[in-house]
Chains A and B, each alone.
Chain A
Amino acid sequence: MPRRVFLGLLGGAVVLGVAAPAIQSSLAGSVVGGAVGLDGYQIYTVTGGIPTFDPSTYRLDVVGLVEHPQSLSLDGLSLLGTDTLHATFQCVTGWQVPNQTFGGVTLARLLAHAAPLPAARYLNFYSFDGTYTESLPIEVAMGPGVMAVTHLDGKPLSADHGAPVRLFVDHYYGYKSIKWLSRIEASAKPVTGYWENYGYPADAKIG
């Protein structure tokens, strides 16, 4: 019996592992999906907690190799217009949150005002937590699925989701979607992202 229990559990683990993607699909949006860690956000913060900000002084700076550097308040950001994107948030470790509605401004729209110079090949992103950084090739960043997000499912972003502004990069793993975004820098070179310093691939395209 002890040997059967041991081998049975090992076999059960293999079966569960293989069936997990199908189980994940069937549990989408359910309490069970969250309890088994396949569905629903897990909160990642790499500093000592959630950084805070003052809405009256917050600025999203767009700087570097651009013709017209920007320093946008939250009101200024909203004046650029509103874009909406329906997508799945996929973490590199396997969990996902399907059917999310991201609201904000696409980087294409945002960067149109700043006008990147021809020498700008990357956009580097900085968080006001002082630690988290990321980068994207400019042709990826200007695509339709890359957005400076201010709203999630119709509500303003909460602090643990990156308020007041986070990036969302559709079809890329979640670690590219930097939270607490405060600076976008157009550059000839990419900055090494926080997670990439821990061995995560710079190209985080899913699939």
Chain B
Amino acid sequence: MGWLGLPGRRVALFHHLTAVFFFASLATALPMFVPAIAAWAGHREVFRETHVITGLLALIVGAASLTTLAGPGARERRTAFAAWAEADAAWMRSWARRLARPAYTGTGPNPGQRVAASAMAASLVVLAGSGLVLRFFSIFPLWLRTGASLVHNLFFYLLTAIVLAHIAYAAVTYLRPVRVGEADPQHAGQER
């Protein structure tokens, strides 16, 4: 077993590569968006091109993790993320009440991870679409560029918030055995 209880170390590699490209894209956005950093760093064109390339790579590699490129069981991975049942809704309500992860007895990603993954995927698609409008602005009308600017910035905030929450949850989960001296069997199984 590997990433999120799904089989395959290659899936984990795709997941980490997506994270690397996402953070590279985030890092190169700052010198364009934050005036103080922009004034200090300069070289806007270099940052812009790197931002576009790494952002698109994050989307492409992230999408590829749901294909056979990331190993067998691609259909199961896609199904696992799209599936939803009444028990999942109850799990989410329980999570929303306590903001703590309830026990999850199913296999694969828990309902919270599935919702977060959907929001991340949608954000990446929206960021790529709006980013391409901004990159190739000359073929689009001004109102659409204004819309792309707004959407790109809002979804940047959304995606960053989800990713940071995701990392925080992952850190808490994986550091828990260090703290309490006892590992969750599912997570322990991933290390075998």
A residues near B, CB below 8 A? 1-3, 5-10, 13, 16-21, 23-24, 35-38, 41-50, 90, 92-95, 159-160, 198-201, 206-207
Contact indicator A5/B44 (Cβ below 8 Å): no
**Which A residues lie within 8 Å of B88 (CB)?**
1
Query: B114 contacts the other chain (Cβ, under 8 Å)?
Result: yes
B residues 34-56 touching A (CB-CB < 8 Å): 35, 38-45
Q: Which of B111, B115, B150 contacts A38 (CB 8 A)?
A: B150
Kindly provide the distance from the CB of B156 to the nearest chain A CB, expressed in whole angstroms: 9
Contact indicator A1/B43 (Cβ below 8 Å): no
Q: How far is the CA of A184 from the CA of B151 in the complex (A)?
A: 39
Q: Which of A1, A45, A206 contacts B89 (CB 8 A)?
A: A1
**Which A residues lie within 8 Å of B123 (CB)?**
9
Kindly provide the distance from the CB of B144 to the nearest chain A CB, expressed in whole angstroms: 7
Contact indicator B147/A21 (Cβ below 8 Å): yes
Contact indicator B35/A37 (Cβ below 8 Å): no
Contact indicator A3/B118 (Cβ below 8 Å): yes
B residues 95-122 touching A (CB-CB < 8 Å): 111, 114-115, 117-119, 121-122
Kindly provide the distance from the CB of A44 to the nearest chain B CB, expressed in whole angstroms: 5
Query: B169 contacts the other chain (Cβ, under 8 Å)?
Result: no
Contact indicator A94/B134 (Cβ below 8 Å): yes
Contact indicator A47/B42 (Cβ below 8 Å): yes
Given A42-B33, A92-B145, A207-B142, A2:B117 Cβ within 8 A: yes
Contact indicator A20/B146 (Cβ below 8 Å): yes
* 8 extra A-B contacts, CB within 8 A, seeds A38-B150, A44-B44, A94-B149: A1-B114, A5-B119, A9-B158, A36-B150, A37-B153, A49-B42, A92-B145, A94-B150
Contact indicator A94/B142 (Cβ below 8 Å): yes
**Which B residues lie within 8 Å of A42 (CB)?**
32-33, 35, 38
Contact indicator A46/B149 (Cβ below 8 Å): no
**Which B residues lie within 8 Å of A159 (CB)?**
39
Q: List 18 A-B contacts (CB under 8 A).
A: A1-B118, A2-B81, A5-B115, A6-B119, A13-B126, A17-B151, A20-B151, A24-B146, A43-B35, A44-B44, A45-B42, A45-B44, A49-B39, A92-B137, A94-B137, A94-B150, A159-B39, A198-B45
Q: Which of A1, A21, A43 contacts B84 (CB 8 A)?
A: A1
**Which B residues lie within 8 Å of A92 (CB)?**
137, 145
User: 1/0 contact trace for B115-142 toward A, CB 8 Å?
Assistant: 1011101110110011000100110001
**Which A residues lie within 8 Å of B149 (CB)?**
20, 37-38, 93-95
Contact indicator A93/B42 (Cβ below 8 Å): no
Q: How far is the CA of A46 from the CA of B138 in the complex (A)?
A: 20
Contact indicator A45/B118 (Cβ below 8 Å): no
Kindly provide the distance from the CB of B172 to the nearest chain A CB, expressed in whole angstroms: 23
Q: How far is the CA of A13 from the CA of B41 in the complex (A)?
A: 31
Query: B161 contacts the other chain (Cβ, under 8 Å)?
Result: no
**Which B residues lie within 8 Å of A160 (CB)?**
35, 39
Kindly provide the distance from the CB of A30 to the nearest chain B CB, expressed in whole angstroms: 14
Contact indicator A2/B118 (Cβ below 8 Å): yes
B residues 60-110 touching A (CB-CB < 8 Å): 81-84, 88-89, 92
Q: How far is the CA of A20 from the CA of B151 in the complex (A)?
A: 8
Kindly provide the distance from the CB of A52 to the nearest chain B CB, expressed in whole angstroms: 12
**Which B residues lie within 8 Å of A1 (CB)?**
84, 88-89, 92, 111, 114-115, 118
Kindly provide the distance from the CB of B47 to the nearest chain A CB, expressed in whole angstroms: 11
Given A1-B111, A3-B118, A50-B39, A20:B150 Cβ within 8 A: yes
Kindly provide the distance from the CB of A133 to the nearest chain B CB, expressed in whole angstroms: 14
Contact indicator A9/B45 (Cβ below 8 Å): no
Contact indicator A36/B44 (Cβ below 8 Å): no
